[in-house]
Amino acid sequence: MISSAALNKNILIKTFTFNLQDCNMKKLVFSVVLFSFAMISYSQEVIPLYKDKIPNSKPVKNEEVSEIEPQYHILIISKVTQPTLSIYLPPKEKATGTAVIIVPGGGYHIVAASHEGSDVAKKFNEMGIAAFVVKYRIPDDESMVNKEIGPLQDAQRAIQIVRQRAKEWNIKPDHIGIMGFSAGGHLASTVGTHFKNAVIDNPAKTNLRPDFMILVYPVISFSDSIGHTGSRDNLIGKNPSPQKIKEFSNELNITTTTPPTFLVHAKDDDVVKVENSIDFYNTLKKNNVPAEIYLYEKGGHGFGMNNSTSEVKWMDLVHQWMTKNGW
């Protein structure tokens, strides 16, 4: 189990500045290089989200850091100011025409790029599904004019790119979904509930609504009762107005046009309360939006694709749900 709190404690580790005279540190740095190389070699292409100037950005030095979190051995990326899209395409003979845009978690503080990103993309490719991992900007007043919309801009831009280049990638433009983990689940559900509000330039009026959503132990609410305070503080500040809390509490922004959704959560999650998923699911049903939810009895937070407390593989359930719905 990987909690956001545990990850945050290790964020300040400067992997690439260790003294290389230390043998153990040599091994760790070498592991980072190999891990990063493996990610790059598996994805067919990594492209910048924006060709020219990044919208809503201030000129800052690129201080992005990629490192292996030492306790759980997962790749995390911090201080992201240059957003990218990593493209994972299945073999043409296996392709179903469906695509999933993956938004890793990290409390709007880091991007958990492997166990909630590249690993999941590879699994989708095995199913014949194209996958696109978003490395989105971390909200920061120093690098953004308005940090509240920075991640949403990047997620909307990812949908825009995939829809506009769907034919090139052998994708059906009406079979494009979004998946988010933890705070990435908040971002994904924001895309799914705020798609009528474009925060990027969209001259071609490309449809920014995902066709379906997959939300895994997601932060949904910014309310005091069930919200994840760390994600809320990082995105909209420590003293948000009631109106701002309502705007970013996505269970309060569901309509009949919200995309069909599959949710996964553990009942004993002590980082993001399970009520986030339950409230979102119940409100979807009240609005007659097709939805399914799978709740583990145990598993905590941040387990990625593999909850070690159960034999149930939730990605298999997602595959069944997607098949049943024609995706």
148: pLDDT strictly greater than 60: yes
Per-residue tokens: 21: 């005279």
Work out whether strand 110-112 and strand 45-48 pair parallel, antiparallel, or are unpaired: unpaired
309: pLDDT strictly greater than 50: yes
Alpha-carbon dihedral angle through residues 185, 190, 191, 196, given to the nearest 10 degrees: 170
Rounded to an integer, what distance in angstroms lies between the CA atom of residue 261 and that of residue 303? Answer: 20
Q: Which residues pair with 45 in a beta bridge?
A: 87
30: pLDDT strictly greater than 80: no
Sign of CA dihedral 133, 181, 243, 288: positive
Average pLDDT in the chain: 90
Rounded to an integer, what distance in angstroms lies between the CA atom of residue 205 and that of residue 202? Answer: 5
pLDDT digits (tens, 9 = 90+) for 231-260: 999 999 999 999 999 999 999 999 999 999
- pTM score: 0.88
Across 182-208, average pLDDT: 98
Q: What's the confidence (pLDDT) of residue 296?
A: 98
31: pLDDT strictly greater than 50: no
14: pLDDT strictly greater than 90: no
Helix (H, G, I), strand (E, B) or coil at 180: strand
CB atoms within 10 A of CB 35: 19
Q: What are phi and psi of 23, to 5 degrees?
A: -60, -45
Q: What's the confidence (pLDDT) of residue 27?
A: 41
Backbone region of residue 222 per phi and psi (left: phi > 0; alpha: psi in -120 to 50; beta: other values): alpha
The model's confidence at residue 23, banded by pLDDT at 50, 70 and 90, is very low
What proportion of the chain, given as a percentage, has pLDDT over 70? 87
Look up residue 252 and give its DSSP letter: G
The model's confidence at residue 168, banded by pLDDT at 50, 70 and 90, is very high
Q: What's the confidence (pLDDT) of residue 43?
A: 58
Q: Give the domains, in start order, of the chain with CATH numbers.
A: 4-324 (3.40.50.1820)
8: pLDDT strictly greater than 60: no
The model's confidence at residue 70, banded by pLDDT at 50, 70 and 90, is confident
Q: What's the confidence (pLDDT) of residue 42?
A: 53
